[in-house]
Amino acid sequence: MKMIFVIGIGSFIGGAFRYMLSNFIQNKFLLKFPFGTLTVNITGCLLIGIIYELSDKGNLSNEWKLFLATGILGGFTTFSAFSIETISLMQEGEIFYATVYIILSVLLGLLATYIGISIVKIF
């Protein structure tokens, strides 16, 4: 139960920071391209790589890994989780599964978003 609370606090921190950073970056550009979200996603990927490697080397406890990766980065961006899971599959030699995961995540994610929008428009 303690770890759920710790992860929840981390998620709050990550979500708030995502909002602030994304808006800060997006307001610097006059284009419609989502530079803020792109920055958040790439930053999250960099940070989750650092966190997992520190954890693998024994420099970071499992509790800190959960707080930082699942909590803060989970609130900051789930794209980082997608990234680390894909890289892990590739490192384990599961190229087929990694490729399927990439394709399904992107295509089904877009499709699900479109369906959600369509459902609301219908009703």
- In tens, the pLDDT along 10-58 reads 999 999 999 999 999 999 988 888 999 999 999 999 999 999 999 999 9
pLDDT recorded at residue 54: 93
Residue 95 forms part of a structural domain: no
Structural domains in the chain (count): 1
pTM equals 0.80
Whether residue 68 has pLDDT greater than 90: yes
Residue 100 forms part of a structural domain: no
Residue 108 forms part of a structural domain: no
pLDDT recorded at residue 30: 81
pLDDT recorded at residue 50: 94
Alpha-carbon span 18 to 99, nearest angstrom? 28
Alpha-carbon span 95 to 89, nearest angstrom? 7
Residue 123 forms part of a structural domain: no
List C-alpha distances in Å: 69 to 22, 58, 72, 117.
Answer: 19, 15, 6, 30
- Percent of the chain residues topping a pLDDT of 70: 100
Query: For 92, how many CA atoms within 13 A lie in the half-sphere containing its CB?
Result: 11
pLDDT recorded at residue 123: 83
Residue 54 forms part of a structural domain: yes
**Which range marks the domain in which residue 30 is found?**
2-77
Tokens of 6: 């710790």
